[in-house]
A and B are shown apart, each in its own frame.
Chain A
C-alpha cells in the first residue's frame, strides 16, 4: 500500500480523534434509538462503562479472545437495562431518566470501591485489540439497520409514540414492548462502543463513565436532531471535532456540551439536521 507519508503522519497524530469519532458516533446512535421512541435515558455512559469494564475484565483476567468479549460487553449492560427499565417503563418518562442517572452514579462508586474492579486506579494494560476498520464498519452497520427500521412499520410506530403516546396506544401500538426493546438495543450498542473504546485506549477508570459523559452523549443527539439516524452522528462529529479545533481546557468542552443542550431544546428542537426520512405510504 502506498500511503503518502504526510497522510500517515496525520493519521498517527490524530488517531485518538479518529477513534473517538467512531465511538461517539455509536454512542450518539444509542441515544437516538431511545429518544426516537419518546424516552429519555441518561444511562448511556453507564451502559458504555459496563461494556468497557466487562470486556476489559474478560480480556485481562480470563485472556478471552477479542471476538468473544464483544457479545459479553453487550449482554452485561442489557441486563442492567432490564433491571432499571422493567419498573420504570410502566411509569411516566421522568422515572427512567432519574433511575438511569442514578445507575451512572452508583456504578462509579462501585468501580471505585471494589478492588477486584480496579478500584480508584482503574484497569490498565488493556490490549489495543479493536481495529479501526471494525469501529467504522459497526457504525456503518448500525446506521444501515436504524435506517431500514426507521423506514419500516416499526419506525412509524416509534414516531407515533413519540408524538402522542395515547394516540399510539389507541392505534394498537404496543408501547411498553417498543420502549423496552429500544432501551435494550440502546444499552447493547452503548456497551459495544464501550468495549471498542476500552480496547483502543489501554486504560479505563471509574470516572470515565459518570455524569459528564452521560450529558455529552445526550448533547450529540440533541444537536444533530433525531429526524434520521444520520443526524445524531453528525452531532457527534461536530461536538467531537469542535473542542479539538478550539484546543481549550477540559472545562470548556463541558460548558460547550451543556450550552448546546440548552440551546437545542429551547431554540432548535429538530436539531441541525432537520431533514426527515421519507417513508412509503403504508
Chain B
C-alpha cells in the first residue's frame, strides 16, 4: 500500500513540477506573476487535441502544441506586458493585466468550443499499466516524470551554463545594466516568454493525457498547485520548483490515503500559508532584505 502511494505521489508531483517550471522561470527573469500562463497550458492541450483528431500522432501533436503555446506566450507578452515594462509600472499592474486577460481568454475559449471535457484518442499513447513488484504505473505517468526531470535539467543547464543563460541571468538581475552591457533585453524577454510558453504547452498535453481530461479551464484548475510549488520552491527557483512539486504530490497522496481525499486542496493551501509565515524565500532560498 505505502510503496504504491509514494510512487503515485511522486508521479502526481511530477505533473505539478512540470506545470510550475515555466511559471517560475517567467517570474524569475521578467519579475511578473503572469497568470495567462494557465491559458498556455490549456491552449497546448487543445492544439494537441486538434492535431490528434486530424490523425497526427503524439510525436507530431506534442511539438505542435509546445510551439503554438510558445507563440501565444510571446504575443501576449508583446501586447500586454512590454508596454508596462517600458512604463516601469509596478508588478501589481502587470499581475492585474494578466488576470483580466486570462479570464477573457478562458471565457472566449469556453464560448467557442463549449465547456465539456474532451479526451485525447486512446491510441495516442498505450494506456496499459506497467507493474513492478505490485506497484502500477501508466506510460503517461512515466512520460511526465521523465519529461519534468529532463526539462528541469535542461532549463537549469540553459540558465546556468549557456551564453544565452548568462544574458537571461543578467536581465533577471538588473534589466537596465544588462541593456547597457549590450544585451538586447526585449529579445531576452521574448525568448523567456517563448520558452515558458512551450513548457506550459507541453505540460498541458502530458497532463491532459495523464488525467484523460481536456477542458478550457484546466489551466485555472492547476493554478493553486502552481502557486504552492513556486512559493515552496522559491519564486524564480527552477530546481526548487522540481523538488517542491514532487514533495507536494507525495504530501497530497498521503493526505488523501490516510486522512481524507477532500482535504488535499486544504493541505496544499496550509503549506502555502505556512511557508509564507516561516520561509517566504522558499525551501532553498536565503532571506533577502525586503525591497520596499
Residues in chain A within 8 A of chain B (CB atoms) = 39-40, 42, 83-84, 86-88, 90-95, 97-99, 101-103, 105-106, 109-110, 112-114, 165-166, 169, 211-212, 215, 218-219, 222, 249, 251-252, 254-255, 257-262, 264-266, 269
Chain A residues positioned under 8 Å from B97 (CB to CB): 261-262, 265-266
8 Å CB contact of A95 from B83, B84, B107, B280? B280
* Closest chain A CB from B284 CB (angstroms): 17
8 Å CB contact of A101 from B83, B101, B105, B223? B223
8 Å CB contact of A83 from B89, B90, B260, B273? B273
**Closest chain A residue to B111, Cβ basis:** A251
**Closest chain A residue to B274, Cβ basis:** A87
* Closest chain A CB from B98 CB (angstroms): 9
Q: Is there a chain A Cβ closer than 8 Å to B99's Cβ?
A: yes
Chain B residues positioned under 8 Å from A86 (CB to CB): 277
Q: In the complex the two chains form, is A254's CB within 8 Å of B100's CB?
A: no
Q: Is there a chain A Cβ closer than 8 Å to B104's Cβ?
A: yes
Q: In the complex the two chains form, is A259's CB within 8 Å of B100's CB?
A: yes
Chain B residues positioned under 8 Å from A95 (CB to CB): 231, 276, 280
8 Å CB contact of B90 from A91, A93, A169? A93
For the complex of A and B, list the 10 residue pairs with the smallest distance between their C-beta atoms, beginning with the closest: A261-B100, A113-B262, A258-B104, A109-B265, A254-B107, A258-B103, A106-B269, A251-B111, A105-B224, A87-B276
Q: In the complex the two chains form, is B220's CB within 8 Å of A211's CB?
A: yes
Q: Is there a chain A Cβ closer than 8 Å to B292's Cβ?
A: yes
Q: In the complex the two chains form, is B273's CB within 8 Å of A251's CB?
A: no
Give CA–CA (A91, B272) in the complex, Å: 14
Chain A residues positioned under 8 Å from B40 (CB to CB): none
Q: In the complex the two chains form, is A87's CB within 8 Å of B101's CB?
A: no
Interface centre among A92, A94, A102, A249 (most CB of B within 10 A): A102
**Closest chain B residue to A106, Cβ basis:** B269
Known A110-B262, A261-B103; further 7 A-B contacts with Cβ < 8 A: A93-B90, A94-B33, A113-B265, A258-B100, A262-B80, A262-B101, A265-B93
Residues in chain B within 8 A of chain A (CB atoms) = 33, 80, 83-84, 89-93, 95-97, 99-108, 110-111, 220, 223-224, 227-228, 231, 260-266, 268-269, 272-273, 276-277, 280, 290-292
Give CA–CA (A143, B29) in the complex, Å: 41
Give CA–CA (A252, B104) in the complex, Å: 9
Q: In the complex the two chains form, is A110's CB within 8 Å of B265's CB?
A: yes
Q: In the complex the two chains form, is A109's CB within 8 Å of B262's CB?
A: yes
Chain A residues positioned under 8 Å from B104 (CB to CB): 254-255, 257-259, 262
Q: In the complex the two chains form, is A258's CB within 8 Å of B33's CB?
A: no
**Closest chain A residue to B216, Cβ basis:** A251
Chain B residues positioned under 8 Å from A42 (CB to CB): 99
Q: In the complex the two chains form, is B99's CB within 8 Å of A102's CB?
A: no
Chain A residues positioned under 8 Å from B80 (CB to CB): 262, 266
A-B contact pairs, 25 of them (CB 8 A): A87-B276, A92-B91, A94-B92, A95-B276, A101-B223, A102-B227, A103-B269, A105-B265, A106-B268, A112-B262, A211-B220, A211-B223, A212-B103, A212-B107, A218-B99, A254-B106, A255-B103, A258-B103, A261-B103, A262-B80, A262-B101, A264-B100, A265-B93, A265-B96, A266-B80
Give CA–CA (A21, B272) in the complex, Å: 35
Known: A91-B280, A110-B266, A261-B96. A98 touches B33 (CB 8 A): yes
* Closest chain B CB from A164 CB (angstroms): 10
**Closest chain A residue to B280, Cβ basis:** A91
* Closest chain A CB from B14 CB (angstroms): 21
Known: A98-B227, A109-B266, A251-B111. A222 touches B96 (CB 8 A): yes
Chain A residues positioned under 8 Å from B272 (CB to CB): 99, 102
Give CA–CA (A277, B83) in the complex, Å: 29
Give CA–CA (A260, B97) in the complex, Å: 10
* Closest chain B CB from A38 CB (angstroms): 8
Q: In the complex the two chains form, is A251's CB within 8 Å of B110's CB?
A: yes
8 Å CB contact of B91 from A94, A113, A255, A269? A94
Interface centre among B91, B100, B104 (most CB of A within 10 A): B100
**Closest chain A residue to B269, Cβ basis:** A106
* Closest chain B CB from A186 CB (angstroms): 15
**Closest chain A residue to B104, Cβ basis:** A258
Give CA–CA (A262, B223) in the complex, Å: 20
**Closest chain A residue to B262, Cβ basis:** A113
Q: In the complex the two chains form, is B107's CB within 8 Å of A87's CB?
A: no
Q: In the complex the two chains form, is B273's CB within 8 Å of A40's CB?
A: no
Chain A residues positioned under 8 Å from B263 (CB to CB): 113
Chain A residues positioned under 8 Å from B83 (CB to CB): 266
Chain B residues positioned under 8 Å from A211 (CB to CB): 103, 220, 223
Give CA–CA (A202, B97) in the complex, Å: 35
Q: In the complex the two chains form, is A261's CB within 8 Å of B99's CB?
A: yes
Known: A101-B227, A102-B228, A106-B224. A258 touches B91 (CB 8 A): no
Q: In the complex the two chains form, is A40's CB within 8 Å of B92's CB?
A: yes
